[in-house]
Chain A
Amino acid sequence: MGLWFSLFTVVILVLLVFMGVGVVGLNSLFGILIPYAALLIFLVGVVYRVGKWTKAPVPFRIPTTCGQQKSHPWIKANNFESPSNTFGVLVRMALEVLLFRSLFRNTRAELRADGPRVVYGGTKWLWLAGLAFHWSFLLILIRHLRFFTEPIPFFVNLVASMDGLFEIGVPTLYVTDIIILLAVTYLFLRRVVIPQIRYISLAADYFPLFLILGVALSGVLMRHFYKVDIYKVKELATGLFSFHPLVPEGIGLAFYIHLFLVSTLLAYFPFSKLMHMGGVFLSPTRNLANNNRMRRHVNPWNYPVKVHTYEEYEDEFREKMKAVGLPVEKE
């Protein structure tokens, strides 16, 4: 159900642009108002969500340790998997965010009838596809900066020229475009094909995949097939960012589709699981040091509780304790 609903929604979104821009000609709505609104929702929403998380206290220091603790000087501590200081935590987080360290551990358990027994195979496909998807997404985002900036920063050009290294076709085919399409397709297929993943998948899992696929496809189509006027696009983009918005005539429908899907992604972002981008940095099982016994962690809402004191205990058992010669406080 979630799958079809999500697909249907993305199709509707595309049709909306056909209607709105192609038929009715609401160019400034789709070119200016909606992008602005989406960006606003994105910024306010993300700040609100992250604010809500950071407002919630971290009462206990609960890192999941994935390596040897620091104890004796002669036992080699694993400061990246069980960090005992800030440097170790930073490395652990960097490995997690940049390389998806934990996902790299992934295994697959398989039940065999002989025995019966269970074996564990390494499986790196999710890690690979996830990494490929996210990195190409990031690089594509960086490449896009050339539409918003003048002069174009050197690293944007650098990324663009490396990305187009193979110089296939005119305009040059970007490697990240191919990778993101393949990776997202894989991520989608595994959701449908692997029975357990299909079982847990919600509309909220299919929708971002279709949306991102829509964004990437419309981008590729616009670049290579339904050519749009790049100079006019840049005019629109710089206009938006300098708060002097204008809508040049004759950009092409493909662009509006692309822009509208991106706007939807932005507006949807804060309300969705895509917020894992912010959340990954805040996860208490990863971003805290395993130095629990070295430095006291303070719980801001630590409150007194009802305990059973030694006095109460001795009051109940005093005679029995005395009878066997255990020392007591009160005779």
Chain B
Amino acid sequence: MSEDLSNVPKPDELMRIDHKPPRKGWMDVPVDFKPGTYSYTAKAKNLKILGMPNPREWSPTDEDWKLPENWEEIVREGFKDRLDKYRSFQLFMDICVRCGACADKCHFFIGSGDPKNMPVLRAELMRSVYRKEFTTSGKIFGKLAGARELTVDVIKEWFYYFYQCTECRRCSVFCPYGIDTAEITMMGRELLHLLGCGINWAMEPVANCFRTGNHLGIQPHGFKDTLEFFADDIEDLTGIKINVPLNKKGAEILFVVPSGDYFGDPGTYTCMGYMMLFHELGLNYTWSTYASEGGNFGLFTSHEMIKRLNAKIYAEAKRLGVKWILGGECGHMWRVMHQYMDTMNGPADFLEVPTSPITGTRFENAKSTKMVHITEFTSDLMKHNKLRLDPGRNDNLIVTYHDSCNPARAMGLIEEPRYVIRNVCNHFHEMPENTIKEQTFCCGGGAGLGNDENMEMRLRGGFPRGNAVRYVQEKYGVNRLACVCAIDRATLVPVCDYWAPGVAVTGVHEMVANALLMKGEKERTTNLRGEPLPGKEEVEDE
């Protein structure tokens, strides 16, 4: 998937920005919907499928947003309701000291220079209304106390800037009180949805997922076709026939992946990677067409929507009678599985504590939720020497690793993927420390923003990441950016094409499968993407 970047100015032009704010106070600067920096609005049909309010066709550039008659009341009540329900929200409205430590931690501020992309100001967009509506000082002192009226222009500003936050939580790492602007953005988006203001790149996947089980709207027979198609490709490459267990009752493990993995390159190679690994292990597992999506764009919509979409995971595990759940490489999916699933749709008392049938390892860290991350599973196999690997088959790759925001900052999954990578490739180099692990930078296209119409803003937001990639590209000759996230595998491609041309994006299990020596395989001449294996280049040329 290579996007068209021709509409975007060249890098040095794009970065002709000033991080100094304008003279005019931020409350007096109206929002400007510049093409390339915002996402198209949610189509009415998608909102209708989900039973969400105020479905209509509209555009952010319209003067009249066709808000409901009593929209002020709706926002006020929605606001109050959430203040009462979430300590996080109430607290984050109250305690910010505006120290500014978070200001230049956001990739969107670094890449755009727009002061309202400083996390603190993004939060103030809401806090200012909070003060006016819910605090005495705000009511009395108004603007002096940082309070302002709730107007249609405020709603427009919210829409623009809450869809210019990828909910990556980087700001929260640096805030002395842990104020998480992602949490505020989530609340802001919930309020916007009460008025029917969402973006289609989030709501179409949500509507699809609700009905067909996955974001892309792939129906059961299509899902089966796709996986069988991968199995054919694998057979061509290795000579091994792999079967694809689907909706299989009594399997030991339910395997759930983000749909991006079976939809587009380069995610598909990762998907084939899982299939090859499980075949080699002889794992008794199953895919599900109903739970054919681990990702959850509900996270980018509302807490209620997270729950509505996530419910199918446990429901399907129960229906199929599996013992535990294994999850593929995905970022935001793992925030949901790790921090929300058990609370929302648990307890999963019908499942067993996950235990690797190969090594016997009990995954104590998942003993309640009963779901294990694929790199936790694979690193355990490697630690116990259960895989025969030839990392030399990845010698054409000089690899660096991008920590996806959610696994890093909502889970602490940091060393597992690195351990796997080190076992399957010989050339691995870290990016600078301010750009990895808990300080990792977003790809710029998470949280529903990875659409084409928003490309300029994505590339701006992707600048810190792309910049770090180029650094290791120049220093070590890095040509492959590994990640454990399906959104990344789509969004980092243009980020690299633009900021670090020549670096391709790969999933971790794609590299695992390339290195995996399978029983009875024929001699491989290429890797999964059809690139010649090191030492086999001439064979290819003939």
Q: Which A residues have a C-beta under 8 Å from some C-beta of B?
A: 1-2, 5, 49, 52-54, 56-72, 74-78, 81-82, 84, 96, 100, 102-103, 105-109, 111, 113, 115-118, 120, 126, 130, 194-197, 199-205, 271, 273, 275-276, 279-280, 282-286, 290, 292-299, 301-302, 305-310, 313-314, 316-317, 320-321, 323-324, 326-327, 329
Does B518 reach chain A (CB closer than 8 Å)? Answer: no
Residues of B within 8 A of A282 (CB): 87, 91
Residues of B within 8 A of A52 (CB): 90
Question: Separation in Å of the B540 CB from the closest CB of chain A?
Answer: 35
Within 8 A of A (CB), among B417-441: 419, 432, 434-435, 437-439
Are B434 and A53 closer than 8 Å at their CB atoms?
no
Residues of B within 8 A of A271 (CB): 135-137
Residues of A within 8 A of B416 (CB): 71-72, 75
Q: Which B residues have a C-beta under 8 Å from some C-beta of A?
A: 11-12, 15, 17, 19-21, 25-26, 51, 83-91, 94-101, 103-105, 110, 115, 118, 120-121, 124, 135-137, 141, 144-146, 169, 172-180, 183, 210-213, 219-221, 224-225, 246-249, 289-290, 303-304, 307-308, 311-312, 315-316, 319, 338-340, 342-344, 346-347, 361, 363-369, 371, 376, 379-380, 383, 408-416, 419, 432, 434-435, 437-439, 463-464, 467, 470-471
Residues of A within 8 A of B419 (CB): 75
Which of B115, B219, B290, B339 is close to A199, meaning CB atoms less than 8 Å apart? B115
Are B95 and A74 closer than 8 Å at their CB atoms?
no
Residues of B within 8 A of A194 (CB): 100
Residues of A within 8 A of B289 (CB): 317, 321, 326
Are B173 and A102 closer than 8 Å at their CB atoms?
yes
Which of B21, B145, B225, B376 is close to A196, meaning CB atoms less than 8 Å apart? B21
A116/B94 contact (C-beta < 8 A), A102-B178, A105-B173 known: no
Q: List 27 A-B contacts (CB under 8 A).
A: A53-B87, A56-B84, A59-B343, A60-B340, A62-B339, A66-B409, A75-B379, A75-B419, A77-B412, A96-B178, A107-B105, A109-B464, A111-B17, A130-B99, A195-B21, A275-B95, A282-B91, A283-B91, A283-B95, A283-B178, A292-B369, A302-B344, A305-B304, A306-B51, A307-B308, A308-B308, A326-B224
Question: Separation in Å of the A294 CB from the closest CB of chain B?
Answer: 6
Residues of B within 8 A of A290 (CB): 411-412
Question: Separation in Å of the B104 CB from the closest CB of chain A?
Answer: 4
Q: How far is the CA of A179 from the CA of B343 in the complex (A)?
A: 47
Q: Give the residue name and chain of the B residue nearest to A320 (CB).
A: B221
Which of B180, B212, B439 is close to A285, meaning CB atoms less than 8 Å apart? B180
Q: Give the residue name and chain of the A residue nearest to B412 (CB).
A: A69
Query: By CB atoms of chain A within 10 A, which of B145, B319, B411 has the most?
Result: B411
Are B368 and A202 closer than 8 Å at their CB atoms?
no
Question: Separation in Å of the B107 CB from the closest CB of chain A?
Answer: 10
Q: Give the residue name and chain of the A residue nearest to B364 (CB).
A: A294
Are B183 and A62 closer than 8 Å at their CB atoms?
yes
Residues of A within 8 A of B15 (CB): 111, 113, 116
Residues of A within 8 A of B212 (CB): 313, 317
Are A310 and B412 closer than 8 Å at their CB atoms?
no
Question: Separation in Å of the A10 CB from the closest CB of chain B?
Answer: 15
Are A196 and B367 closer than 8 Å at their CB atoms?
no
Residues of B within 8 A of A105 (CB): 173-174, 439
Are A276 and B97 closer than 8 Å at their CB atoms?
yes
Are A118 and B219 closer than 8 Å at their CB atoms?
no
Residues of B within 8 A of A305 (CB): 304, 307-308, 311
Q: Give the residue name and chain of the A residue nearest to B367 (CB).
A: A294
Are A61 and B118 closer than 8 Å at their CB atoms?
no
A283/B414 contact (C-beta < 8 A), A276-B95, A305-B304 known: no
Are A56 and B365 closer than 8 Å at their CB atoms?
no
Residues of A within 8 A of B248 (CB): 327
Are A313 and B290 closer than 8 Å at their CB atoms?
yes
Are A296 and B343 closer than 8 Å at their CB atoms?
yes
Question: Separation in Å of the B454 CB from the closest CB of chain A?
Answer: 21
Residues of A within 8 A of B99 (CB): 103, 126, 130, 197
Residues of B within 8 A of A284 (CB): 87-88, 91, 178
Q: How far is the CA of A65 from the CA of B435 in the complex (A)?
A: 15
A200/B220 contact (C-beta < 8 A), A65-B408, A117-B467, A284-B87 known: no
Are B343 and A310 closer than 8 Å at their CB atoms?
no
Are A296 and B368 closer than 8 Å at their CB atoms?
yes
Which of A82, A106, A111, A283 is close to B412, meaning CB atoms less than 8 Å apart? A82
A196/B19 contact (C-beta < 8 A), A285-B180, A326-B220 known: yes
Are A293 and B180 closer than 8 Å at their CB atoms?
no
Q: How far is the CA of A78 from the CA of B411 in the complex (A)?
A: 12
Question: Separation in Å of the B524 CB from the closest CB of chain A?
Answer: 30
Residues of B within 8 A of A306 (CB): 51, 308
Q: How far is the CA of A63 from the CA of B124 in the complex (A)?
A: 22
Which of A56, A283, A297 is close to B179, meaning CB atoms less than 8 Å apart? A283
Are B412 and A196 closer than 8 Å at their CB atoms?
no
Question: Separation in Å of the B211 CB from the closest CB of chain A?
Answer: 6
Q: Give the residue name and chain of the A residue nearest to B144 (CB).
A: A203
Q: How far is the CA of A195 from the CA of B105 in the complex (A)?
A: 16
Residues of B within 8 A of A72 (CB): 361, 376, 379-380, 383, 416
Are B110 and A118 closer than 8 Å at their CB atoms?
yes
A118/B91 contact (C-beta < 8 A), A67-B414, A126-B101, A280-B176 known: no
Residues of A within 8 A of B220 (CB): 317, 320-321, 324, 326
Residues of A within 8 A of B383 (CB): 72, 74
Q: How far is the CA of A255 from the CA of B144 in the complex (A)?
A: 31
Query: By CB atoms of chain A within 10 A, which of B101, B225, B340, B413 has the most?
Result: B101
Q: How far is the CA of A321 from the CA of B225 in the complex (A)?
A: 11
Q: How far is the CA of A200 from the CA of B146 in the complex (A)?
A: 10
Are B85 and A301 closer than 8 Å at their CB atoms?
yes
Residues of B within 8 A of A111 (CB): 15, 17, 19, 110
Residues of A within 8 A of B136 (CB): 271
Taking A72-B416, A199-B25 as given, write out 13 further A-B residue pairs in contact, using a Cβ cutoff of 8 Å, ordered by the A residue number. Answer: A52-B90, A75-B415, A96-B176, A197-B98, A279-B177, A290-B412, A292-B338, A292-B342, A296-B369, A306-B308, A307-B312, A308-B312, A324-B225
Q: Give the residue name and chain of the B residue nearest to A120 (CB).
A: B434
Residues of B within 8 A of A96 (CB): 176, 178
A294/B365 contact (C-beta < 8 A), A310-B316, A313-B213 known: yes
Are A64 and B180 closer than 8 Å at their CB atoms?
yes
Are B85 and A56 closer than 8 Å at their CB atoms?
yes
Are B176 and A297 closer than 8 Å at their CB atoms?
no
Q: Give the residue name and chain of the B residue nearest to A66 (CB).
A: B438
Q: How far is the CA of A306 from the CA of B302 in the complex (A)?
A: 14
Are A310 and B101 closer than 8 Å at their CB atoms?
no
Are A100 and B176 closer than 8 Å at their CB atoms?
yes
Are A200 and B173 closer than 8 Å at their CB atoms?
no
Question: Separation in Å of the B127 CB from the closest CB of chain A?
Answer: 10
Q: How far is the CA of A285 from the CA of B87 in the complex (A)?
A: 11
Residues of A within 8 A of B96 (CB): 273, 276
Q: How far is the CA of A206 from the CA of B367 in the complex (A)?
A: 50
